[in-house]
């Protein structure tokens, strides 16, 4: 008698469905990464973000004023303005002052972010928020007093050197704070240096361009002849005789 072979038992399908891998959402640059890592309650995230954003307030305000002055001179009243060397330099310097306001806002934001990270490591969120508010008030008072003391608040020609000095100060403060806290992030540090160098390069190119075209319009460009005497010198020498 042939013995019955045992039937192959197929494994029953599992009723449990595989759980999908958790999706990681990319955080924006405004998200307080240090607060998340330290386990700060979410109720404090928005106040910390707003307090950190308030650091760019003075630079954004003065940058918008500089852009308004440029638009008023170029768009609204171009016929009533004398476009001599002083007029061109004034428009160019005010436009460059707006560029340096943007650079100062960028540097001031990262400086405040670095200080906030240091304070969150040492103090609770309410104390950190209070210190951020005091820092923003100090920043506003320092910028306002500097512009008033140097006369840049009333003289458009002084806006550019004043904001260059502010940007240099913020750059030094950012690097000193990052070194003292030990949070020297290469990406953010290199980005701050790139912004500073780009503003310097734009300022140099714009001022040299304005001076070049102003000298060309006045006929002051040197036209060197083979004997080494410029055309303007020959004209002056001929007129004296």
Average model confidence (pLDDT) across the chain: 75
Average pLDDT over residues 20-44: 60
Average pLDDT over residues 80-106: 82
> Number of folded domains in the chain?
1
How far is the C-alpha of 231 from the C-alpha of 222, rounded, in Å? 7
Residue 12 lies in a domain: no
Residue 160 structural domain: 45-219
Residue range 35-71, pLDDT digits in tens: 666 677 788 888 888 988 999 999 999 999 999 988 8
Residue 11 above 60 pLDDT?
Answer: no
Tokens found for residue 190: 């290199």
The pLDDT value given to residue 15: 42
Residue 105 lies in a domain: yes
Residue range 126-181, pLDDT digits in tens: 888 999 999 999 999 999 999 999 888 888 889 999 999 999 998 888 888 777 65
Residue 54 lies in a domain: yes
Residue 32 lies in a domain: no
Residue 35 lies in a domain: no
Give Rg (Cα) of the chain: 31
Check residues 118 and 105 and name the one with the higher pLDDT: 105
Return the percentage of the chain with pLDDT > 90, whole number. 25
The pLDDT value given to residue 218: 59
41 CB neighbour count, 10 Å cutoff: 8
Average pLDDT over residues 12-28: 46
Backbone angles phi, psi at 167, to 5 degrees: -65, -40
Residue 121 lies in a domain: yes
Question: pLDDT tier at 85 (50, 70, 90 boundaries)?
Answer: low
The pLDDT value given to residue 77: 65
Angle at 99 between CA 189 and CA 92, to 5 degrees: 145
Map tokens 């002083």 to a residue.
86
Residue 138 lies in a domain: yes
The pLDDT value given to residue 241: 40
Residue 11 lies in a domain: no
| DSSP per-residue letters across 39-75 | T--GGGHHHHHHHHHGGGHHHHHHHHHHHHHHHIIII
């Amino acid at each position: 008698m042939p013995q019955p072979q045992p039937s192959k038992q197929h494994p029953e399908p599992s009723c449990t469905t595989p759980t999908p891998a958790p999706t990681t959402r990319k955080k924006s640059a405004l998200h307080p990464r240090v607060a998340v890592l330290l386990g700060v309650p979410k109720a404090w995230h928005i106040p910390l973000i707003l307090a950190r954003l308030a650091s760019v307030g003075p630079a954004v305000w003065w940058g918008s004023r500089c852009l308004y002055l440029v638009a008023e001179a170029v768009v609204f009243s171009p016929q009533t303005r004398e476009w001599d060397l002083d007029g061109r330099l004034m428009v160019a310097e005010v436009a460059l002052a707006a560029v340096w306001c943007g650079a100062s806002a960028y540097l001031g934001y990262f400086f405040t972010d670095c200080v906030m990270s240091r304070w969150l490591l040492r103090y609770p969120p309410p104390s950190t928020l209070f210190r951020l508010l005091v820092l923003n008030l100090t920043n506003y008072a320092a910028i306002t007093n500097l512009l008033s003391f140097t006369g840049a608040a009333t003289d458009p020609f002084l806006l550019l050197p004043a904001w260059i000095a502010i940007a240099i100060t913020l750059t030094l403060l950012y690097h000193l704070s990052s070194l003292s806290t030990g949070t020297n992030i290469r990406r953010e540090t290199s980005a701050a240096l790139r912004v500073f160098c780009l503003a310097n390069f734009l300022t140099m190119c714009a001022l040299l361009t304005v001076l070049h075209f102003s000298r060309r319009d006045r006929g002051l460009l040197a036209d060197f002849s083979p004997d080494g005497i410029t055309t303007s010198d020959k004209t002056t020498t001929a007129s004296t005789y």
